[in-house]
Structure 1
Amino acid sequence: MSELPKGWIETEIGNLAQVVAGGTPKSGDYLNFAEPGVGIAWLTPADLSGYKQKGITNGRRDLSQKGLDSSSAKLMPKGTVLFSSRAPIGYVVIAENEICTNQGFKSFVFTEHVNSTYAYYYLKSIRDLAESWGTGTTFKELSGAVAKKLPFRLAPLNEQIRIAYKLDSILAKVDQAQTRLEKIPAILKRFRQSILAAATSGELTKEWREAEGVERRLNKYTVAQIAKDEKYSLGIGPFGSNLKVVDYRSEGHPLVFVREIRARKFGGGDTKYVDNDKFTELAAHRAKPGDLLITKMGDPPGDVAIYPETSPEAVITSDCIKLDVNRQLVNKKFTFYYLQSEHFQSQMKSITAGVAQQKVNLKNFKSLELLMPGLAEQEQAVHRIESMFSLAEKVDKQYLEAKSRLDRLTQSILAKAFRGELVPQDLTDDPAGELLDLIKAELVGIKLKTKAVPKPKKSTITKDKVEQLTFFESSEPFEEHNQVDLDVGRGDAKDSLRIHYQAEIDKAQSALKEAKFTIEQFRSVTDFKGDYGSLKALIMNLLKGIPKLSEPLLEVDSWDDKSGDYVLRLQEAK
């Protein structure tokens, strides 16, 4: 990063905010949830997909008090900056009221010395950095320990407020421009459809017919009738058993998939191939240059492409249709456009079936109807369609360039703000360094309204090795879990949980000898039948011992940054 402005400091965000993870109650119990706005506000990353506002009040559903109590979700105060830590990393929003989240967030509860709007914009500015710090194979995730280490540029408080106000003003104008730009793709789509509608109705070629003195005559064909009178001119890809993944090669004869028809791009780096033997075997499913290719599976099916004249013969895969047209009846390009028209696509929709995957079958596809003018008019229509579409393509290109400039502009403005260049500095502002000690002192006093209470999960423990599972949130000191009335302070053996569950403890000692383990793994080994509160109380009992009754049995071994959890072990005999 660039040099810090005078009076600023850079520190880890964990020094400025309490970093709070979330949780989800048992999803199968409907009593854990409530309608949005009725229960306790609860947020998931999915709630922020496409969300444009800076503040938020609730997600698509709330938690009930039961759901909050039974999960590790924590109720955070108004002004908390919520930051998604997975799927994806980097959504940012400010809580407009008390709220909790699922485990897809690492949220930041700042003190009054950090302006929430300032922090909101700062986190947006380092989204790429945060994402690069994520780990994971299925999807990247930012752990609590890593989230705490994110760098944070802290300006003097008054300057924070000035920066936040200026960013609100400038980025509101950028957002307005983006909103207007985002309307262009839909406008272009309607424009293209209107041109196709005019072409299929004859309106597009009306002036040509009048000038040429040609009367419009339509011929009704089915898809089967416009196919060339040759073997394999109309067909689908092979069944799965005839073309398997094991048949794919890194070179040879290309395969065509639905995704390539949809994108109208063929022969890229992801292309799969088959060898000569398989290519010969699948002769009935070959696509030749110039063939029309249609998707028979999708949401919805019916995407159309022309297989490029410069491409080698290929084999279409199972969810594709190929059509080589009879050019004595129809113009190939006009047919290509006709198949995209509302008239034809509405017919495709009528024969589409399926829930998980929408598909059409070849028999029904062959019976779909096309109303085609004469070949001369088809050719004239193609010229006019392509002329109008070229204008749309120019606008589309300008739109993409403008969108890219606006996207870069937002990041440029944010970068300028956090270099201290967006607003004038005031030398009378108290330097940020003086805030840090105040913030650290105040963080100690922040208490959330609920504690993390993860639901039990089964795990497997061996004598030699115990896998580490998360029990304590990294944002909570270990001592904070000693909030249970153990009812043992009087030294009354009769009421002691330790005495009551001594059989389970004895059973665990042999299994856990020389092992490091979590509380949840302790439950698994002992087959503990008590409720969750009793289990936690028992563990605290074993950690601290019972006055005048017993010595501690367990001790904390270490803190594991990777899992974000405390690891326990049996205390060595004294």
Structure 2
Amino acid sequence: MAKRVTAEGPVDGPWTLPDGWRWERLDTVGRWGSGGTPNIKTPRYYGGNIPWFRSGELRDRPLADPEIKITEEGLQGSSAKLIAPGAVLIAMYGATVGKLAISTCVCATNQAVAFCIPDPEKITARYLFFYLLSIRRHLRDQAQGGAQPNISQSLLKEQIIPLPPIGKQLLIVGRIDELFAEIGNGETALARVRDDLATWRKALLKAAVTGELTADWRAANLPTETGADLLDGILADRRARWDGESKNRGKRYPQPITPGVGALPGLPVGWCWATMDQLSWSSGYGTSEKCSAEHAGTPILRIPNVRRGVVSLDDLKYTTAPLALNDGRELSIGDLLIVRTNGSDDLIGRAALVLTPPPQATYFASYLIRLRLLGTVEVLHWVALLIDSPIFRASVLQSIASSAGQYNLSLSKIETFAVPVPPLDEIRAVISRVYAAQADAAEGAQSLDAAGLTSTTLRQSILAAAFRGDLV
């Protein structure tokens, strides 16, 4: 180990360094500082020519164009400071703690960013950047605070760094760049495979709900009933449920909406069209009661619980007091939930089906619509595939309206959505094939995730070797 002297010079470190290297505290390798925020109530402080970066704009690479620029008056009227090109920046607060960047122009930052202008006789900016990247987890582990953890300049300055001569630093940084580029190429290839997997999944569902997937099955099998026969049974059940409601005695049965067949594409032999209204016996909106993570009242499903055709019971919220659901209003098998209002056109119309009963009486939020479906378990699984398919998505996109930045999907539109209904035997064949293919794809996705974790580990291993002196 290097000889321990004063804090202004070399210090002891946790491992033995090669000849010519030394340990030093970070406060000795450059000039440190932090930024500030001009008063947001003073318009003349903003809209100038000085790039002003916030911690969220630090993304472990050289800084790009800022979202905000400030004026010279804004700089002088705050604790913001001009930072020269080539400074290393690190986020100190919140979710971005430890994120890094290197300044590429004269700029300023807010107070959530610390900066170090390296002493060129001791350290290069990129060597310091990579070292801070290598100890990020260590810094985050020492972060103070609860909801907004933070690290301080004092904590940063007291860290120690192994310093080789400048020439060796340049060689180390060059080798890190080479190896990281190779890993990046591998990650790009993985991303392409993930994209291909997502495309394949959409194609699988489209083939399933259009009959392409089971064309060979139809050629080899004569179904015992048609899709129209299956629909007739569902409609009979629908009518029986309506007749069985005491509130409907003496009333005329409202016929469900039928599909406009003339405007719909052709279907395989034995299939027929139905509407969501024909396949459901009840519909309505959820509760607007305020919810929290406290397990005080009734569990409530929200938009995050509506995923890929089947509801998720993860991360539930709860009403402050239990809801009265003893009249059969609680969620049950066959309930279809659809996002009816949202600011994202990706989330609007997302749908999921309850295929297993929740462990306790559960309800849903008001920005979801519920349709209570009819049919056998196989029919419900068929609908779960359908609502996750490009065909259902196309119906959603044709039906949404937008207002004041919000997308909306009405119940009256959803009830008209056309649904292909195959014979029950073919539904069983479709479900079997799709689930088998999805299981194989899930194994492939797990392998991709493992490869992604491996690349992260590789980067850390490379950095560890670099700062031990083992890389070049």
Task: Give the C-alpha shift of residue 339 in structure 1.
Answer: 0.9
Q: TM-score when scaled to structure 1?
A: 0.63
Structure 2 counterpart SS, 1:286: coil
Structure 1 residues 398 and 361: alpha-carbon distance in aligned structure 2, compared to 1, 3 A threshold: same
Q: How far apart, CA to CA, are the structure 2 residues paired with 1:19 and 1:79? A: 13
Structure 1 residues 126 and 133: alpha-carbon distance in aligned structure 2, compared to 1, 3 A threshold: same
Structure 1 residues 329 and 151: alpha-carbon distance in aligned structure 2, compared to 1, 3 A threshold: closer
Ranges in structure 1 where 5+ consecutive residues have no aligned partner: 424-574
Aligned to 2:51: 41
Read off the aligned partner of 1:327 and give its amino acid letter. Answer: G
For the aligned residue pairs, the C-alpha RMSD in angstroms reads: 3.2
Of the three residues 385, 394, 398, the one matched with 2:434 is 385
Task: Give the C-alpha shift of residue 302 in structure 1.
Answer: 3.1
Aligned to 1:106: 114
Please tell me whether residue 143 in structure 1 is matched to residue 152 in structure 2.
yes
Structure 1 counterpart SS, 2:213: helix
Aligned to 2:254: none
Structure 1 counterpart SS, 2:98: strand
Please tell me whether residue 226 in structure 1 is matched to residue 279 in structure 2.
yes
Checking the alignment, whether the CA contact within 8 Å between 1:115 and 1:160 is kept in structure 2 is yes
Structure 1 residues 190 and 28: alpha-carbon distance in aligned structure 2, compared to 1, 3 A threshold: farther
Larger radius of gyration: 1
Please tell me whether residue 25 in structure 1 is matched to residue 38 in structure 2.
yes
Q: How far apart, CA to CA, are the structure 1 residues paired with 2:442 and 2:377? A: 30
Structure 1 residues 57 and 368: alpha-carbon distance in aligned structure 2, compared to 1, 3 A threshold: closer
Aligned to 1:527: none
Checking the alignment, whether the CA contact within 8 Å between 2:292 and 2:319 is kept in structure 1 is no
Q: How far apart, CA to CA, are the structure 2 residues paired with 1:310 and 1:288? A: 5
Q: How far apart, CA to CA, are the structure 2 residues paired with 1:284 and 1:364? A: 25
Q: How far apart, CA to CA, are the structure 2 residues paired with 1:397 and 1:223? A: 35
Read off the aligned partner of 1:221 and give its amino acid letter. Answer: A
Post-superposition Cα deviations, 1:298-328, rounded to whole Å, max 9, x if no partner, equal 4323333343536435322223344442216
Structure 1 residues 138 and 205: alpha-carbon distance in aligned structure 2, compared to 1, 3 A threshold: same
Please tell me whether residue 342 in structure 1 is matched to residue 351 in structure 2.
no
Q: How far apart, CA to CA, are the structure 2 residues paired with 1:10 and 1:358? A: 58
* Structure 2 counterparts to residues 154-173 of structure 1, below 5 A: 154-173=163-182
Q: How far apart, CA to CA, are the structure 2 residues paired with 1:248 and 1:362? A: 31
Task: Give the C-alpha shift of residue 123 in structure 1.
Answer: 0.6
Aligned to 1:56: 63
Structure 2 counterpart SS, 1:41: strand
Structure 1 residues 354 and 131: alpha-carbon distance in aligned structure 2, compared to 1, 3 A threshold: farther
Read off the aligned partner of 1:339 and give its amino acid letter. Answer: I
Aligned to 1:261: 306
Q: TM-score when scaled to structure 2?
A: 0.76
Aligned to 2:227: none
Aligned to 2:16: 4
Please tell me whether residue 216 in structure 1 is matched to residue 269 in structure 2.
yes
Task: Give the C-alpha shift of residue 85 in structure 1.
Answer: 1.6
Structure 1 residues 195 and 28: alpha-carbon distance in aligned structure 2, compared to 1, 3 A threshold: farther
Q: How far apart, CA to CA, are the structure 2 residues paired with 1:322 and 1:248? A: 25
Please tell me whether residue 84 in structure 1 is matched to residue 97 in structure 2.
no
Task: Give the C-alpha shift of residue 405 in structure 1.
Answer: 0.8
Aligned to 1:316: 363
Aligned to 2:340: 296
Structure 1 residues 253 and 191: alpha-carbon distance in aligned structure 2, compared to 1, 3 A threshold: same
Aligned to 1:395: 444
Read off the aligned partner of 2:278 and give its amino acid letter. Answer: Q
Task: Give the C-alpha shift of residue 64 in structure 1.
Answer: 3.8
Of the three residues 388, 406, 415, the one matched with 2:455 is 406
Post-superposition Cα deviations, 1:319-372, rounded to whole Å, max 9, x if no partner, equal 334444221698111111111122222332333545566453434433333233
Checking the alignment, whether the CA contact within 8 Å between 2:293 and 2:317 is kept in structure 1 is no
Aligned to 2:422: 373
Structure 2 counterpart SS, 1:401: helix
Indicate the structure with greater strand content.
2
Aligned to 1:483: none
Q: How far apart, CA to CA, are the structure 2 residues paired with 1:146 and 1:368? A: 60
Checking the alignment, whether the CA contact within 8 Å between 1:222 and 1:368 is kept in structure 2 is yes
Most deviating of 15-24 and 141-150: 141-150
Ranges in structure 2 where 5+ consecutive residues have no aligned partner: 1-12, 224-267
Checking the alignment, whether the CA contact within 8 Å between 1:32 and 1:65 is kept in structure 2 is yes
